[in-house]
Amino acid sequence: MPPPSAPNRLSDPADRRPASSRLQRPRDAAGVVAARLAALGSRLTGRNATSIPGFVAELIAPGVTARFAAGLGGVVLVSGTNGKTSTSRFLAHILAAAGRDVIANRSGANLKQAVASTLVAEATPGGRLRRPGAIAVLEVDEAALPAEARRLPASVVVMTNLFRDQLDRFGETDHLVRLWTAMLERLPPETIVVSCADDPRLTALVADRPGSVAFGLVSPEATVESAGITRDVSACPVCGLPLTYRWTAVGHLGGYACPGCGFRRPEPWLSVHSTGGGLDGQVLAFRWPGATEEASVEVRVPGLGNAYNAAAAVTAAAVLGVEPAEGIAALAAASVPFARFEELRIDGRRVVLSLVKNPASLGELTRIVADAPVACVLFVFSDNFQDGRDVSWYWDVDPAPMVRGRTFVIAGPRAADFELRLRYELVDRPGDPMPGFLGLAPTPAEGLDRAIAATPAGETCVVVSTYTALLALRATLVERGLAPAMPR
Amino acid sequence: MTGPPPAGGRFAIAHLFPELLNLYGDLGNIRVLVQRSRWRGYEVEVRAIGANDEPAFDDVDLVFIGGGQDRQQIAVARALERLAAPLSAAIGRGASLLAVCGGYQNLGHLYRSELVGELHGPGLLDVTTEATSNADRFVGGVVLELPADSPIAALGRESAASAGHPEAARQLVGFENHSGRTQLGPGVRPLGQVRVGGGNDGAGAEGAIALPGEGGLDGLRIGTYLHGPLLPRNPHLADFLILSGLRGRGVTQLAPLDDRAEWAAHVAFANDWQALLRPSRVRGPIGRAMERFGDLLGPSR
């Protein structure tokens, strides 16, 4: 049984609108040229030019992003709390492997201006699209999604999950759910929504929408509890009674049912399970209607979160006409996005960079790192605007299993806070040294030096860091010639 | 005075509605209360009391209630109607109370917001709260100055001084994120005065405190918007809550702990937010525009 398919504007050229109308084109061209200059200026001053070009182009030619998007062969918006970047990366890879022309935004640059920058960079100084038939796979910040879905003609919207995240910036998660509800009401009926069956909030959101397609985990036989201490969703999103769970995977994702109103997890169209692996990667096995047996593939990223991301990408690709078996096979060669278990070799040591941003991702990472052969862990906690200024969430997870029996270093603006967090788990008496603790490092780069020095040659050091600190740390590594420039 | 704690001493914590109110690292507050009591040799029990559970406050020394979303606060208000009498009785006989953010609002007389309407509370704290629009939320780091005669400051004086941060004992630090504006009645005093941040209503006061014996209740009562969580970075407040709760068991002082790591985190947080004075100071469209612009430029190498 094929999933509902998205309108394919490639197959119907008559439906394709010109990239810019005759009247608009000179203005759009001016916008593109100005954006180029802004990007150049931004790079010359040592910045990464992800946002300013789009901002400048929209300033000069308002609506230029939407006009370019309308000229493409399709637009896929990928949003949610966790897994946006990895899902987008997987999806872009599957589509490219299937011979489609793909445009994708840069890792993590997912706010309005950055999305605009991505599309404007695809236009010529004459104001025309270079690759008019291409499919744009755009990762979009969850708070920015409603506005992007309004201005861009999306053929597919992928919703990965909704966890508690950056409360200082987004407000409460309920607020975000209200914004998404309003967005879905306005979304044209032909737009296909791909969402996670294991997330009760998303299931409730798409319940009334025909033509939505769900992905999820293969329900485990046994009862399984997730690593996080708290579940973000405990009440039924329909009637408010406490949900009962037969199993949970990551945070509140799992097999839920409401004892009151009958709301329950729907059977996903495509489901996945991990059949083994370590820090290096895992083997994923997929099931979908019409497949006579499971299809397996080895991917280079560990963890259940990535199993979900792979399933989301295969499902979205199926909606766009790529056979699931073909999409699954393509995952084997998908590269790892920035800082999602990105592996580096430094001084004969393996250094693995991993991003944390909320209790769900920290709980998942704790489980992966605890079970892996790791010699040393470097924690870097920053609380800049893009990280969320309130990092209290790490008190809702017990991160101690990551460091038991290992050495560890802590750095970043909130280093002293995270030291406290671990102290309250690891010491028998206050003032006692924490076993394995090598101290606070004054800067993340010095922290890395210390952690690498503490890792025996041939062994593994894991860097656990929030977003802006990791970005800065990686830039230092690029400068020192220890990491390739930002992978695309 | 630093001798071993009484053998077999118990400390019982009731955590109200953890399934509904768990938004802001609230488990961190519980973790700190548990460990600081354990480190002193007490046997600690944490009793989660859910919205549908029977009240079980008989031998409780401390009651904690955390923060949640508006929708959960409706369920909390409903549950509190049922639990108000036994809860008041426990505090009346000396259990301490810490209410953070949503719990602070719910335990007052009234919480009014567009989404939830009017929610009446048990009035365990003499406060009323009205929510403003989401755009006027107070979001950011907070540094409070405690009153000169504050028993919390007195309790922390020695430990902060020996850690090299004597000024920190007169402060509380935390993170706020609320649209509620809270007015204090005569039955409570402000917990402290805001040096950085918004506080109860932007006029200077933050939180509410009623000391043991005040208002005819033997228990200490504290309500505040500070989370982040509140207690790890404020060891003097954590100890004051524990000590007040244990008075009923005849405990008059707590063995001092080595709190150098706690005070270091306290001071680092206070310094960062004092240096920035944002975004709590630059509010509204200008503050947001400034943050956007910084965001637009991207992180500088």
User: Which of A202, A214, A209, A192 lies closest to A74, judged by CA?
Assistant: A192
d(CA A249, CA A245): 10
Put simply, whether A430 touches B (Cβ < 8 Å) is yes
Other Cβ atoms closer than 10 A to B45: 15
How does residue A228 score in pLDDT terms, banded at 50, 70 and 90?
A: very low
Q: How far is CA A152 from the centre of its chain?
A: 20
Q: What count of residues does chain A have?
A: 488
Under 8 Å between Cβ of A216 and A311:
yes
- What is the complex's ipTM, to 2 decimals? 0.89
- Tens-digit pLDDT profile for residues B108-151: 999 998 888 899 999 999 999 999 876 688 999 999 999 999 99
Catalytic residue among B15, B178, B227, B236: B227
Least Cα separation, residue B100 to chain A (angstroms): 14
Least Cα separation, residue A207 to chain B (angstroms): 21
Within B34-158, strands assigned E span: 43-49, 62-65, 96-100, 110-113, 117-120, 127-131, 138-145
Residues 29-48 of B with CB under 8 A from A: 31-32, 35-36, 39
Least Cα separation, residue A432 to chain B (angstroms): 9
How does residue A11 score in pLDDT terms, banded at 50, 70 and 90?
A: very low
Mutation target to probe the A interface, by most A beta carbons within 10 A, among B30, B101, B301 is B301
Chain B residues close to A479, C-beta within 8 Å:
301
**Cross-chain Cβ contact A230/B264 below 8 Å:** no
Q: How far is CA A237 from the centre of its chain?
A: 24
- Tens-digit pLDDT profile for residues A437-472: 999 999 999 999 999 999 999 999 999 999 899 989
**Cross-chain Cβ contact A385/B294 below 8 Å:** yes
d(CA B50, CA B73): 13
- Tens-digit pLDDT profile for residues A70-120: 999 999 999 999 999 999 999 999 999 999 999 998 766 778 888 888 888
Helices (H), A79-191: 84-97, 112-120, 145-151, 167-170, 173-186
- Nearest beta carbon to residue A429 from set B39, B229, B291: B39
Put simply, whether B299 touches A (Cβ < 8 Å) is yes
User: Which of B218, B105, B232, B219 lies closest to B173, judged by CA?
Assistant: B232
- C-alpha separations of B20 from A166, A196, A221, B46, B73 in Å: 19, 23, 29, 17, 8
**pLDDT exceeds cutoff 80 at A351:** yes
Tokens of A135: 């499919």
- C-alpha separations of A49 from A115, A351, A392 in Å: 12, 27, 31
Put simply, whether B228 touches A (Cβ < 8 Å) is yes
Residues 267-286 of B with CB under 8 A from A: 268-269, 272, 279
Q: Is B109 helix (H, G, I), strand (E, B) or coil?
A: coil
Q: Is B67 helix (H, G, I), strand (E, B) or coil?
A: coil
Put simply, whether A333 touches B (Cβ < 8 Å) is no
Put simply, whether B102 touches A (Cβ < 8 Å) is no
Active site residue B15: no
Q: Is A409 helix (H, G, I), strand (E, B) or coil?
A: strand
Q: Please name the residue of chain A whose CA is at the shortest distance from the CA of residue B273.
A: A389
Q: What is the pLDDT of residue B277?
A: 66
Put simply, whether B22 touches A (Cβ < 8 Å) is yes
Active site residue B101: yes
Q: Which residues of chain B have pLDDT under 50?
A: 1-3, 7, 278-282, 298-301
d(CA A334, CA B269): 41
Put simply, whether A239 touches B (Cβ < 8 Å) is no
Count contacts between A and B (CB, < 8 Å). 139
Put simply, whether B257 touches A (Cβ < 8 Å) is yes
**Cross-chain Cβ contact A235/B139 below 8 Å:** no
Mutation target to probe the A interface, by most A beta carbons within 10 A, among B64, B296, B297, B300 is B296
Chain B residues close to A111, C-beta within 8 Å:
295
Chain A residues close to B229, C-beta within 8 Å:
392, 395
What single-letter DSSP state applies at residue A94? Answer: H
Chain B residues close to A260, C-beta within 8 Å:
none
**Cross-chain Cβ contact A392/B137 below 8 Å:** no
- Tens-digit pLDDT profile for residues A253-289: 999 999 889 999 999 999 999 988 888 889 999 999 9
Q: What is the pLDDT of residue A22?
A: 66
Q: Cα-Cα-Cα-Cα dihedral of A308, A110, A104, A44, to 10°?
A: -140
Q: What is the pLDDT of residue B210?
A: 97
**Cross-chain Cβ contact B265/A468 below 8 Å:** no
A187 class by beta-carbon count within 10 Å (0-12 exposed, 13-18 middle, 19+ buried)? middle
A219 class by beta-carbon count within 10 Å (0-12 exposed, 13-18 middle, 19+ buried)? middle
d(CA A116, CA A154): 14
Residues 168-197 of B with CB under 8 A from A: 175, 177
Least Cα separation, residue B22 to chain A (angstroms): 8
- Tens-digit pLDDT profile for residues A146-179: 999 999 999 999 999 998 776 666 667 788 899 9
Chain A residues close to B227, C-beta within 8 Å:
390, 392
Share above pLDDT 70 across residues of chain A, in percent, rounded to a whole number: 91
- Nearest beta carbon to residue A51 from set B18, B23, B296: B296
- C-alpha separations of A435 from A403, A409, A441, B129 in Å: 9, 12, 17, 46
Put simply, whether A164 touches B (Cβ < 8 Å) is yes
Put simply, whether B72 touches A (Cβ < 8 Å) is yes
Least Cα separation, residue A144 to chain B (angstroms): 13
**Cross-chain Cβ contact B140/A52 below 8 Å:** no
- Nearest beta carbon to residue B298 from set A48, A230, A419: A48
- Tens-digit pLDDT profile for residues A283-340: 999 999 989 999 999 998 988 999 999 999 999 999 999 999 999 999 999 887 777 8
Q: What count of residues does chain B have?
A: 301
Under 8 Å between Cβ of A436 and A422:
no
Chain A residues close to B24, C-beta within 8 Å:
167, 390, 392
Put simply, whether B66 touches A (Cβ < 8 Å) is no
Catalytic residue among B101, B165, B236, B266: B101
How does residue A44 score in pLDDT terms, banded at 50, 70 and 90?
A: confident
User: 């950056």: which residue's tokens?
Assistant: A166
- Tens-digit pLDDT profile for residues B34-51: 999 999 999 999 999 988
Residues 281-310 of A with CB under 8 A from B: none
Q: What is the pLDDT of residue A384?
A: 87
Under 8 Å between Cβ of B236 and B159:
yes
The single-letter code of the amino acid at A185 is E
- Tens-digit pLDDT profile for residues A388-415: 888 888 998 899 999 999 999 999 999 9
d(CA A486, CA A340): 12
Q: What is the pLDDT of residue B3?
A: 47
Q: What are phi and psi of A380, to 5 degrees?
A: -130, 115
